[in-house]
């Protein structure tokens, strides 16, 4: 699955050039010197991005390094308009951002199914000489050339859209929780970085309601500096409405210390992430007795909403869903 998940492509795009206007005069059997009748050129093809909720990767664009739209057709006599070029419409997953490779400027982002955004506008067709006829110039011998299209290297970058994003270090139990609460089938194993791409699942809630949960690959300390695959992991967290921090009850660092490290990584990458609703889930609590459970509660930082859960024993999951639903819905 990992090799099929592509969240970054760099492509040279070129929109189509507009067709040239026609410099033409009407000639008939008994009209040797008719007036101007040159038609306009057609519009060049646009490059358009369209949101597709059925797609989850940019894999289909991975090997397309050049995407060029066609030029518009030239105008002709009898005021015949040149053909408009066909637009190139590229379906992309929701959460796709188009970015200028040189400036880093965000050109557009796609968040809704069926949403269309023009990435590069095709050139306008030139006007034929019929437009330039005047009282002082009855036979204009010129027409406009077509407007040039645009050529630009653009990065398409996918950031996962979900209601809840799971945040934690490797082996915090994120994949196990996702597999337990949804129909998703992430790879699960007892070694770090089992998950190297985001996994999405739909959590069924009461009264036929549901929400989307994303298992984000595990963060490591100094991920905000690009350590490991830090930036590629952290960017996906930006597009989650609520953040669910997962920390195992038996962590060697201590729950408070691990929570603060995770918060710091998010803040160093993008401080706005700290303003998202968040919840702390203490995982793997099936290994604890009642006395140890009380000690774990004392380790939780003050003022932090938390819940004790075990995905394996399915403890605390109903309460977890209830709290998440309230946070998602404000």
The token pair at 306 is 């938390």
Q: DSSP label at 25?
A: B
**pTM, whole model, 2 decimals?**
0.71
User: What is the CATH number for 313?
Assistant: 3.40.50.300
- Where among 158, 174, 197 does a domain terminate? 158
User: 246 and 134 share a domain?
Assistant: no
How, if at all, do strands 151-158 and 278-283 pair?
unpaired
- Where among 138, 158, 178 does a domain terminate? 158
CA proximity to 72, closest of 11, 12, 124, 137: 124
Q: DSSP label at 312?
A: T
DSSP β-bridge partners for residue 90: 49
User: 262 and 113 share a domain?
Assistant: no
User: 279 and 180 share a domain?
Assistant: yes
- The CA distance from 92 to 53, in Å, is 8
Tens-digit pLDDT string for the chain (330 aa): 445 668 889 999 999 999 999 999 988 888 788 889 999 999 999 999 999 988 888 889 989 999 999 999 999 988 999 999 999 999 999 889 999 999 989 999 999 999 999 999 999 999 999 999 988 888 899 999 999 999 999 999 988 778 898 888 877 778 888 888 886 564 444 444 444 567 778 888 988 898 888 887 766 554 444 444 445 567 778 888 899 999 988 888 888 998 998 888 888 888 888 888 999 999 888 887 777 888 888 888 888 899 999 888 888 899 999 999 999 887
Number of domains the chain is built from: 2
Q: What is the pLDDT of residue 224?
A: 40
- The CA distance from 309 to 286, in Å, is 8
| Residue 307, H or E segment | strand 306-308
User: What is the CATH number for 109?
Assistant: 2.70.210.12
User: 272 and 143 share a domain?
Assistant: no
User: 319 and 236 share a domain?
Assistant: yes
User: 143 and 204 share a domain?
Assistant: no
| Cβ contact 117:128 at 8 Å | no
User: 52 and 186 share a domain?
Assistant: no
User: 154 and 197 share a domain?
Assistant: no
Q: What is the pLDDT of residue 227?
A: 44
Q: Which domain holds residue 152?
A: 1-158
User: 185 and 37 share a domain?
Assistant: no
User: 88 and 172 share a domain?
Assistant: no
User: 188 and 222 share a domain?
Assistant: yes
- The CA distance from 80 to 131, in Å, is 13
User: 74 and 222 share a domain?
Assistant: no
Rounded to 10 deg, the angle between the 317-328 and 174-181 helix axes is 90
How, if at all, do strands 162-167 and 240-248 pair?
parallel
- Where among 158, 193, 211 does a domain terminate? 158
């Amino acid at each position: 699955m990992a090799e099929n998940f592509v969240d970054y492509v760099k492509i040279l795009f070129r929109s189509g050039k507009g067709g040239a206007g026609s410099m033409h005069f009407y000639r008939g059997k008994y009209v040797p010197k008719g007036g101007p009748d040159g038609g306009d050129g057609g519009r060049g093809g646009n490059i358009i991005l369209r949101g597709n909720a059925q797609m989850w990767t940019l894999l289909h664009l991975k090997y397309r390094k050049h995407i060029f739209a066609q030029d518009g057709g030239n105008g002709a006599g009898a005021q015949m308009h040149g053909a408009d070029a066909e637009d190139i419409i590229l379906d992309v997953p929701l959460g796709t951002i188009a970015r200028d490779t040189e400036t880093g400027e965000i050109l557009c982002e796609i968040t809704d199914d069926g949403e269309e955004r023009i990435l590069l506008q095709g050139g306008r067709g030139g006007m034929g000489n019929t437009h330039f006829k005047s009282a002082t110039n009855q036979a204009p011998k010129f027409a406009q050339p077509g407007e040039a299209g645009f050529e630009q290297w653009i990065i398409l970058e996918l950031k996962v859209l979900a209601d809840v994003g799971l945040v934690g270090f490797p082996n915090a139990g994120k994949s196990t929780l996702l597999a337990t609460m949804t129909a998703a089938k992430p790879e699960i194993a007892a070694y770090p970085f089992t998950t190297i791409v985001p996994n999405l699942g739909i959590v069924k809630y009461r009264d036929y309601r549901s929400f989307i949960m994303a298992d984000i690959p595990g963060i490591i300390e100094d991920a905000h500096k690009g350590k490991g695959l830090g930036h590629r992991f952290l960017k996906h967290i930006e597009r989650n409405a609520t953040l669910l921090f997962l920390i195992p009850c038996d962590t060697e660092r201590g729950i408070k210390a691990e929570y603060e490290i995770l918060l710091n990584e998010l803040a160093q990458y993008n401080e706005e992430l700290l303003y998202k609703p968040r919840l702390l889930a203490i995982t793997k609590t099936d290994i604890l007795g009642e006395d140890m459970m009380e000690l774990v509660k004392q380790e939780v930082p003050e003022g932090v909403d938390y819940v004790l859960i075990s995905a394996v024993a399915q403890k605390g999951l109903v309460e977890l869903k209830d709290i998440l639903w309230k946070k998602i819905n404000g």
